[in-house]
Structure 1
Amino acid sequence: MLYLICSVCLFSQSTGGIGIRATESRGAVISPVTAAEPKPELSSDRAILSPRDEYSSGGNAKADRGTVGHILHFSDVHLNISTSRNDSESAAIPTVYGKDAPITLLVSALAYAKKVLPKPDMFLFTGDSVVRGNMTEEYLAEVVEKNVKTMAKYYATSDSNKMKDVTTVVGNADTNPGYRMNLTDPTTEENPQIALIAGTWQDSLSKADLDLFKRRGYLAYALDDTLTVLTLNTLPYSPSHEPNTSDVLDPFGQFAWLNASLAALQSAGQSCFIVGHIPPVISSFGGSPMWNETYIRTYKKIVGQYSGIIKAQLFGHVHSIEFRLPLSCSLGAQFQRAGVLGDDAIEDKADLVPLFMTGAISPIFSSNPAFMVWDYDVTTHDLLDFTVHGGNISSTSGTVDWQPLFKASQEYGVSTLKASEIVNFVKRAETDAKLLEEYYFNSKAQSRLQSDCQDATCQAEWLCSLYWFSTVRDYDACVAFTTASKSNTTTSTTSTIQ
């Protein structure tokens, strides 16, 4: 069924909830366009921006953007240390494609990042600290601690600066075995899988927040007086979650907490960033759901009510630099005429904000090691731009040539990361195979091992992956429709996005 999401039409929306009882959340910490220029090559010097610098693109200040803040975003390190936990043995593990990240790769990324952005407004890590494979619980807990505390040597909240580090995001690899997390009652007990690794943050979280984290795996951080970061525990929503609890409507009471927190922030006139590990999307690789579809729809209903205050949705897990855009009304009409419109399409017509996913430090899927720097307006908190930093792994030395790879504003011709600008990019990508191929190449941080995406099926899959579908059926219908359209014409001259 295709769920229409109209990004160009406004609908009356209730802010009173969606039927989930907004129970009191224990300890929810809530504090009160320019024309695209030709894209020049990015140099390291031009990529270095200190916090509160005027935003620049191509070396020209954008005065209308005001003062800019920066988020340094790492994800999916999958740190591989020696099973003996010997530092010398761990340091000898090589950096190679097809394997998870050794400590030397993580340190090189952090050292480079510290030169590029020494004082971001926020350091964000969106989970998956641990190498894949069989391991003891002792080893897993030590790897999580090693990863997080290594990052803290370079970026940690302290009394001497205003930076906030947000690293309490649990990934599917951060439990043993992976994806395993018992559903426990956060009002009465700690969760054993979360409690196992929670000691990592005992010196950086307050006692109250540490207790909350052990019980439920999600928290709220006040980034400043008007901006709060909400972290999500996404493991229970995955189809791979063990034990299978997909029949539970609201694992850990997180949806009720999210709804209540957003309502409180909206009433207080504050903004919000939502961050997590597994994104609520259909995967661009294989078209499988990252969350159970009922959970995707529930999440989208909640955030759709508060799109005016939700300024960013940032996730990891996919080891790929991508976004998801709500469908436009006109594109939905194209599907309707093709006869693939779902019966309850109207239900999902919400003014949703774009969702973004970042790359990984781990090169296990042959992507280049990469991290992102997000630029945002410190007054409105709107996302303005992002820069991807990374590099190919040398086949001889095993080192990474860290450098700024691309900036969204220059690569994609967007002036901000608002939905209206992303719509314009998608409209161009739909009729420009080269631009879509560029997006595909960039998704793996420009890895030299990345395959091409030039045939009609691959192009259709990646075009459809740009949209935030709720179900595999909708995504598959989009791919079939788009593949047929591309196969019937060698060059499309009319965009389906009006």
Structure 2
Amino acid sequence: MRGIGGAVTAGLAAWSAQAKTILHISDVHLNLTLDEMNYGFDSSPRLLESALSYARSVLHDPDLLLYTGDAVAHIDHNESVLAKTVQTGFSMVQEYFHVKNVTAILGNADFHDYEFYVTDPEKGGTNPTIGMVDAPWKQALSPSHFEAFDTRGYLWYQIEPKLVVISLNTVPYSVKHKPDTKYLDDPFNQFEWLRRTLVEVQTNGSYAYIVGHIPPIIDSYGGESQWELKYMLTYQAIVEAFPDIIKAQNRQRYSPRKRKCVGFPMKYNLWVLIMQICRAYGLPSLSSESLRALTHRMKADDELLHEYYRHSKADSTRLPPCTTSACLDKVLCTQTWFSTVLQYRECLDEQSAERIGIPHWLHPFPRISWMWSLVLWAAVIVVVAVVVGVVHRALKRSSYQTIPGPKEFEP
């Protein structure tokens, strides 16, 4: 995503008897050398100020600032420019919002893209990658939180008596992460920490909201995995063990805006509320049951699916139409949390087959496309027909009665 279209989200969350508010800012991609507000490019300081000004008019005093990374533009930088850009962007946010509870999450573009050196958190000390851009959070976080963030890049926050926000360092799990550390089963010992933290949350009768930058999914753009498979499977196993206490997982830029969204339609200094998901889709809540029901409705309604597609991309004026079956199937299949690209492609094959009326029983071959499945079934049918014909003829011959020839007799 370029710029901040759809990256500023003001949300409502019923965490306690009184609803709390979240200001979600992500993927600012600030370029300090830009002055214009050009659509489709990285953000200039003017564009960020415009977005923040409007966000403050909608949500003046949020309870939580969810700042989820990628503060730097899509160009090569030296370390001093990286640090200055991250500092400038975060300072601008603080000028508009004085939020007590602030998350500290780094994205892949907050330093040299996807480059994150993995260190041993047990040894303590500042991680060299985090240390390049950690200055903004020294004042925003408590000393204990800052120490944890500076060492490993992940921590937890007690936002409410019964709610904990868990922020993860997801860059080491990326398929694009460098240097290559796939040989590590648990970079930064984060999985072990996450499991312990969730057990503690469960023991205390509380709930968890897990946030990060790079989501553990097959993305909706290129149909590619965002995490290395072994990390994806480990994470899924952890969160699936705590279904009753995990209230939400932030899927970042690959998900629909699940609350009130802010984005620009035609002009770059004109901001409007795009949609509110409960109202737009007639949902009683944002529970898992409601969202699953929405997915089933989209499966049977291409217009609803296309509307979802537009909203998920912040109704961009440059958004290409998604009206073909292939495009709509991609949108639908990204609603399921698959572990592998193969599973995602199988979903696409299933949807394609259903659209053209191929019966479900013609899909016994999960690892091949529906076309080859159809060819194989046709071959099987031909073989069966031949066998049945041969057997039928054999049985028919066996039932013949021998007619005796004329007998000679003497008169």
TM range (shorter): 0.7 to 0.9
- Alignment of 1:386 with 2:259, yes or no, is yes
Percent identity, aligned pairs only, is 36
The CA deviation at 1:393 is 4.5
The 5-angstrom pairing of residues 50-449 of structure 1 reads: 67-82=18-33, 90=34, 93-157=35-99, 163-166=100-103, 168-176=104-112, 178-188=113-123, 189-316=125-252, 318=253, 320-322=254-256, 386-394=259-267, 399-449=268-318
Secondary structure of the 1:187 match is helix
Distance 1:469 1:198 in 2: 34
Secondary structure of the 2:352 match is helix
Output one character per residue of 1:358-394: Cα deviation in whole Å (capped at 9) or x when no partner: 5xxxxxxxxxxxxxxxxxxxxxxxxxx6111212242
**In structure 2, what is the equivalent of residue 467 of structure 1?**
336
Aligned residues: 348
Secondary structure of the 2:164 match is strand
Q: Which residue identity does 2:61 align to in structure 1?
A: K
The CA deviation at 1:209 is 2.3
Q: Are the aligned partners of 1:156 and 1:164 in contact in 2 as well (CA < 8 Å)?
A: no
Output one character per residue of 1:164-208: Cα deviation in whole Å (capped at 9) or x when no partner: 222x100000112x0001111112142101011111211122333
Distance 2:326 2:222 in 1: 12
Q: Which residue identity does 2:294 align to in structure 1?
A: F
**Structure 1 length-normalised TM:** 0.67
**Cα gap change, 1:128 to 1:193, in 2 (>3 Å):** same
Q: Are the aligned partners of 1:126 and 1:315 in contact in 2 as well (CA < 8 Å)?
A: no
If asked which structure has higher relative contact order (CA below 8 Å, sep 6+), I would say 1
**Cα gap change, 1:244 to 1:48, in 2 (>3 Å):** closer
Q: Which residue identity does 2:67 align to in structure 1?
A: F
Distance 2:237 2:56 in 1: 39
Distance 1:105 1:117 in 2: 18
Q: Which residue identity does 2:102 align to in structure 1?
A: D
Distance 1:321 1:235 in 2: 18
Unaligned runs of 5+ residues in structure 1 are 1-46, 56-64, 83-89, 158-162, 323-357, 359-384, 490-498
Distance 2:83 2:212 in 1: 20
Q: Which residue identity does 2:215 align to in structure 1?
A: P
Distance 2:218 2:288 in 1: 19
Higher helix proportion, which one?
Answer: 2
Distance 2:138 2:17 in 1: 37
Q: Are the aligned partners of 1:96 and 1:393 in contact in 2 as well (CA < 8 Å)?
A: no
Distance 2:278 2:17 in 1: 16
Output one character per residue of 1:253-274: Cα deviation in whole Å (capped at 9) or x when no partner: 0000000001011101111111
Output one character per residue of 1:20-64: Cα deviation in whole Å (capped at 9) or x when no partner: xxxxxxxxxxxxxxxxxxxxxxxxxxx999x89xx9xxxxxxxxx
Q: Are the aligned partners of 2:174 and 2:227 in contact in 1 as well (CA < 8 Å)?
A: yes
Largest Rg, 1 or 2: 2
**Cα gap change, 1:152 to 1:420, in 2 (>3 Å):** same
The equivalent position to 2:324 in structure 1, one of 444, 455, 460, is 455
Q: Which residue identity does 2:165 align to in structure 1?
A: V
Q: Which residue identity does 1:472 align to in structure 2?
A: V
Distance 1:128 1:264 in 2: 30
Distance 1:126 1:287 in 2: 23
**Cα gap change, 1:66 to 1:191, in 2 (>3 Å):** closer
Distance 1:420 1:204 in 2: 36
Secondary structure of the 2:261 match is strand
Distance 1:300 1:474 in 2: 15
User: What CA RMSD, in Å, does the superposition of the two structures yield over aligned residues?
Assistant: 2.0
